[in-house]
Chain A
């Protein structure tokens, strides 16, 4: 299965998808020291995001994520890539600043199309996500 995004930045990565129909904010949702989702009401609470390809519905919350991806990357406690149905400018600015690969905007709900735990390959140059 290959899905094409309307927006993309970054490079080629391959890894395990961590999928939920929920939002994403580095400030609101994460324990960035432990590398886990910490917001009690988040569907991925308690799960590690480190090295995962996060597939989520939309970016949420504040502007802090623009700095935080860069900070998380500096310690190696960072997702491998971010995939969203829709994304706000903050996450895009943060992904540019932190050199994190990102795709956004698909035909259909990407959180329903990619199975949780699947191995996926992203090629930002082709704006593609392939489920292996």
Chain B
């Protein structure tokens, strides 16, 4: 890779030991992908729950924070994805004490590194959405796909160590979705039905992701009626990224780089797949093979204020028989408290949690501690993940999930 003067100085250690470690890591990744140079970034977003880091990752964070013997000065604002717990609700989840302690150590290390602990996977709704053309170093696949596709910003999937490196150096290797050529459509979809619920949007995103197949594939989708809102696109993108490892999509007439099909290069592609309502219903039906429910979870991505508003209305007048967990960001939670939404959900028997995500919060351990197996959710991303954690995930709309929490079973 071609290095500029600052990068050469970083590599030589003139900006400190941590900057040297960070740049060396980035060069190895950049060279693997044939990056010619670095690109400056304006923000970094770090995925770093301790279930992923483990003891080894937390020790690495602690050692990085201590490497230069003084507080690090991150070159760009660097924020965090959800943590592995909501410290105020760890006992409700029955998380193991060692896990909560590991989270505390990670929080302390991040604070020493100068990272802003925003603990959110919806930073494009709550912190600062990147602008079109802005290069960023974001972690969390849902954040990246939304930023690339809906905002027109530029990011690869940056795992925790790489996002921290970008925060330290203020740059990232220029490859993948930082390049114009990688942002062109590679696979053309025609849809003849438009989703209604967030769960439908997630299911459509999951189908597209499954067919798209890998990170380098960029689906362009035509045929949707109307313009979906931010929450719909959030579920659509998060599910697509989860099923397909996809990092970008184009919706013709909706997303900023796809005003017309030909803007994406999609007019030169044959229609590879047609998706209708029956396909979406089939994906949903694949996760609806049980009726009894142990727990209901709304998470992945964290809920917006509008989703909590809808959930509060659904909880009004009900007495929930099964645990219902609604997970939001630390930016939304105070508003939900202040506006009475939290009280409405919790007076029905639910819990509003903040700053975590269900599957990043020791899902296997809390399943065992609480006897949870059959989990109902409206999140297509969550059902895709939880099978590997030993759950039987059930997929339904938010309304049917709340009903399931009340009756103890998911009604068909």
Binding site for B on A (CB under 8 A): 7-9, 23, 27-31, 38-41, 58-68, 70-71, 73-75, 86-90, 92-94, 96-97
Name the one of B28, B159, B384 contacting A65, with C-beta atoms under 8 angstroms. B159
Is there contact, CB below 8 Å, between A86 and B55? no
Q: A67-B161, A96-B29 are in contact. Are A59 and B215 (CB under 8 A)?
A: yes
Nearest CB in chain A: distance from B286 CB, A: 10
Name the one of B34, B140, B156, B360 contacting A89, with C-beta atoms under 8 angstroms. B156
A/B interface sample: 10 pairs, CB < 8 A:
A27-B359, A28-B384, A31-B388, A60-B244, A60-B245, A63-B47, A66-B52, A93-B29, A93-B158, A97-B161
B223 within 8 A of A: no
For chain B, residues 281 to 331, give those with C-beta under 8 angstroms from any C-beta of chain A.
Answer: none
Is there contact, CB below 8 Å, between B157 and A39? no
* Docked pose: A93 CA to B164 CA in angstroms: 12
* Docked pose: A71 CA to B161 CA in angstroms: 12
Nearest CB in chain A: distance from B48 CB, A: 7
Name the one of A71, A86, A88 contacting B54, with C-beta atoms under 8 angstroms. A71
Chain B residues whose CB sits within 8 angstroms of the CB of A87 once the complex forms: 215
Chain B residues whose CB sits within 8 angstroms of the CB of A62 once the complex forms: 47, 140-141, 241-242, 385
Name the one of B157, B161, B245, B385 contacting A58, with C-beta atoms under 8 angstroms. B245
**Contacts between chains A and B (CB distance < 8 A), count:** 131
Q: A9-B32, A28-B384, A93-B159 are in contact. Are A58 and B213 (CB under 8 A)?
A: yes
Chain B residues whose CB sits within 8 angstroms of the CB of A29 once the complex forms: 388
Chain B residues whose CB sits within 8 angstroms of the CB of A90 once the complex forms: 157, 159
Chain B CB within 10 Å — which of A8, A41, A58, A90 has the most?
A: A90
Q: A70-B60, A89-B29 are in contact. Are A63 and B53 (CB under 8 A)?
A: no
Q: A27-B385, A70-B60, A86-B216 are in contact. Are A64 and B47 (CB under 8 A)?
A: yes
Q: A9-B28, A28-B384, A74-B56 are in contact. Are A67 and B157 (CB under 8 A)?
A: no
B139 within 8 A of A: yes
Chain A residues whose CB sits within 8 angstroms of the CB of B47 once the complex forms: 62-64, 66-67
Is there contact, CB below 8 Å, between A71 and B388? no
Nearest CB in chain B: distance from A41 CB, A: 7
Chain A residues whose CB sits within 8 angstroms of the CB of B245 once the complex forms: 23, 58-61, 88
* Docked pose: A28 CA to B264 CA in angstroms: 31
Is there contact, CB below 8 Å, between A67 and B52? yes
B214 within 8 A of A: yes
B162 within 8 A of A: yes
Nearest CB in chain B: distance from A95 CB, A: 9
* Docked pose: A113 CA to B349 CA in angstroms: 56
B205 within 8 A of A: no
Nearest residue (CB) in B for A104 is B32
Chain B residues whose CB sits within 8 angstroms of the CB of A75 once the complex forms: 54, 56
* Docked pose: A123 CA to B300 CA in angstroms: 40
Chain A residues whose CB sits within 8 angstroms of the CB of B158 once the complex forms: 63, 89, 93
For chain B, residues 103 to 161, give those with C-beta under 8 angstroms from any C-beta of chain A.
Answer: 139-141, 156-161
* Docked pose: A73 CA to B60 CA in angstroms: 13
* Docked pose: A67 CA to B162 CA in angstroms: 10
B334 within 8 A of A: no
* Docked pose: A60 CA to B388 CA in angstroms: 13
- Please give me the 4 A-B residue pairs with the lowest Cβ-Cβ distance, nearest first: A66-B159, A71-B54, A74-B56, A88-B215
* Docked pose: A60 CA to B28 CA in angstroms: 21
* Docked pose: A38 CA to B360 CA in angstroms: 17
Chain A CB within 10 Å — which of B49, B60, B162, B213 has the most?
A: B162
Q: A28-B385, A58-B214, A89-B159 are in contact. Are A74 and B29 (CB under 8 A)?
A: no
Q: A38-B390, A63-B141 are in contact. Are A7 and B56 (CB under 8 A)?
A: no
* Docked pose: A63 CA to B360 CA in angstroms: 11
Q: A70-B56, A89-B215 are in contact. Are A7 and B33 (CB under 8 A)?
A: yes
For chain B, residues 182 to 201, give those with C-beta under 8 angstroms from any C-beta of chain A.
Answer: none
Name the one of A8, A41, A64, A94 contacting B387, with C-beta atoms under 8 angstroms. A41
Nearest residue (CB) in A for B214 is A58
Chain A residues whose CB sits within 8 angstroms of the CB of B247 once the complex forms: 88
